[in-house]
Amino acid sequence: MKQFYHFIIKEFYHIFRDRKTLLILLGMPMAQIVIFGFALSNEVKNAHITIVNQSNGAASMKLVQKIESSKYFETYNQTTQTSDIEKMFRKGTIKVALVIPPDFDKTILAQNSSRLQIISDATDPNVATTLTAYLSIIVADFQKELNQPNSIPYTINVETRMMYNPQLKGAYNFVPGVMAMVLLLVCTLMTSLTVVREKELGNMEILLASPVNPLIIILAKAVPYLLLSIINIITILLLSYFVLEVPINGSLALLFAVSILFILVSLALGLLISSVTDTQKAAMFISLIVMLLPTVMFSGFIFPIENMPLPLRVISNIIPAKWYFIIVKSVMIKGLGFSLIWKEVLILTGMMLFFFTMAIKKFKIRLS
C-alpha cells in the first residue's frame, strides 16, 4: 500500500509538471462542448431564403410575413424575377427559394386552390430536406388559418410530440457523445502514453528490477487519470446544463456511476495498449486510429447505427462507447433508472474485466 502511495504521488508530479498537457486535458472538454454546441450544429437556423412574390395580394403578403417571422428563415435579396434565383443559388447566397406566382391571390379567392413553388439547394441533402419540410409546415399552417371561418368537411389533425427533446436540440445527442469521446481520449490515450514513456526512458526496467508488484505500477498510472476524468465529466455536465440547457432528467448519482464504469473501461484499454506497445508513437497510433476513430463512427453519436449494413452493426457492438452512449442518453435525457439500463451496464462491466485481465496478463509476459 505504501508503495502504491509513492507511485501515485510520482504520477501526480508528472502530470502537474507538464502544464501544457494538463491544460489541454482540462480545456479539451470545454472546447469540445463549445465547438459542438455552437459551431457544429445540424440544426437549421436563419437559413437564407428568397421569396419571389409576384402576386402581392393580401394573402401572399400574409404568407411572406409568416415566413419572415420564423426563426428558421431569414429573407435575403428580394426580387420579382425568377431568373435571379439560379444566380443566387450559384453564388451560394441562399439555401432555398419560394416562388409565389402572379395569380396566387386571385386563384386562392376565386377557385379555392392555388400553387406555390419551393426550390432548394440540395448539394447538402439533409439541409434541403429540412428546409423544405419547415416551409411546407408554415404553408400548411397558413392554409389552416385561411380556412378557420368555414372549415373544410374532412380534416385530420396530426398532433406530433417530440419525446424527451421537444425543441429537437442537437445538444441532447452530442453531449453524451462528447462525454464518451473526451473520456476515451484522456483515459485511453494518456494512460497508454504514460506507461509507454516509462518503457522508452528505461525507467520501467528499474521498476521491474525492484520488488514492486507490476500490478501496482500500472494501477498507479491509472489513478490520476481517473481523477482528471471525473473533473472532466463535471465540467461537461455543468457546461451542458447551464450553457446548452440540456437537462439531467435521471439520477445524477447513476450518471456518475456509469461514467466511472466507462472511465475504468477506457483506462483498462489504455493499459492494454501500453502492454502491447513499446513506443509512444505506436501507442498514440493505436489509441487514435484503432480506438478513437471507431468510437466516433460506431458509437451512434454522429452516424446512426440503425442505418448501417449488418456487418458494421455487428462491429459496433464491440465498441464500448456505443454502450456508454446508450446509457448516458437513457439516464440523462430520458431519465430512465437502473432497471432499464442494466444490460448495457453488464456489457461494459464485462468489457472492463476483460481488458484489465488482458492488460495484466500481457504485462506479466513481458517480465519473463
Partner 1 sequence: MNSKAIIVENLTKIFNGFTAVDGISFEVEKGEIFGFLGANGAGKTTAMKMLCGLSMPTSGSAMVAGFDVYKENESIKKNIGYMSQKFSLYEDLTIKENIRFYAGIYGIRPELITSKTTLLLEQLTLEKEANLLVKQLPLGWKQKLAFSVAIFHDPQIVFLDEPTGGVDPITRRDFWNMIYDAAAKGITVFVTTHYMDEAEYCDRVSIMVDGQIDALDTPGNLKSSFQAGSMDEVFLQIARKAKRSE
Q: Which residues bind partner 1 (CB under 8 A)?
A: 2-3, 5-7, 9-10, 13-14, 17-18, 201-203, 205-212, 367-368
Report the SS3 class of residue 79: strand
Residue 303: φ, ψ to 5°: -105, 125
| Cα–Cα distance list, 352 to 194, 217, 265, 349 (Å) | 20, 19, 4, 5
Which amino acid appears at position 169 of this protein?
K
Please report where in the chains the cell 480545456 appears, as a residue.
27
DSSP E strand boundaries for the chain? 47-53, 73-75, 96-100, 117-120
Q: Which is nearer to partner 1, 196 or 347 (CB)?
A: 196
- Residue 185 CB, nearest approach to partner 1 (Å): 22
| Cα–Cα distance list, 278 to 42, 114, 275, 286 (Å) | 41, 73, 8, 12
- Residue 212 CB, nearest approach to partner 1 (Å): 5
- Residue 25 CB, nearest approach to partner 1 (Å): 16
Q: Which is nearer to partner 1, 228 or 246 (CB)?
A: 228
124 DSSP assignment:
S
- Residue 361 CB, nearest approach to partner 1 (Å): 16
Q: Which is nearer to partner 1, 202 or 311 (CB)?
A: 202
Report the SS3 class of residue 319: coil
> Dihedral of the CA atoms 116, 122, 126, 127 (nearest 10)?
-60
Residue 24 buriedness (CB in 10 A; 0-12 / 13-18 / 19+): middle
- Residue 359 CB, nearest approach to partner 1 (Å): 20
- Residue 206 CB, nearest approach to partner 1 (Å): 5
Residue 18 parent element (H or E): none
Nearest of 179, 188, 227 to residue 351 by alpha carbon: 188
Q: Which is nearer to partner 1, 22 or 288 (CB)?
A: 22
- Residue 19 CB, nearest approach to partner 1 (Å): 11
Q: Which is nearer to partner 1, 99 or 220 (CB)?
A: 220
CA distance 85 to 69: 22
Which amino acid appears at position 275 of this protein?
S
Report the SS3 class of residue 250: coil
- Residue 217 CB, nearest approach to partner 1 (Å): 9
Q: Which is nearer to partner 1, 5 or 38 (CB)?
A: 5
Q: Which is nearer to partner 1, 113 or 368 (CB)?
A: 368
Q: Which is nearer to partner 1, 130 or 191 (CB)?
A: 191
Length of the chain: 368
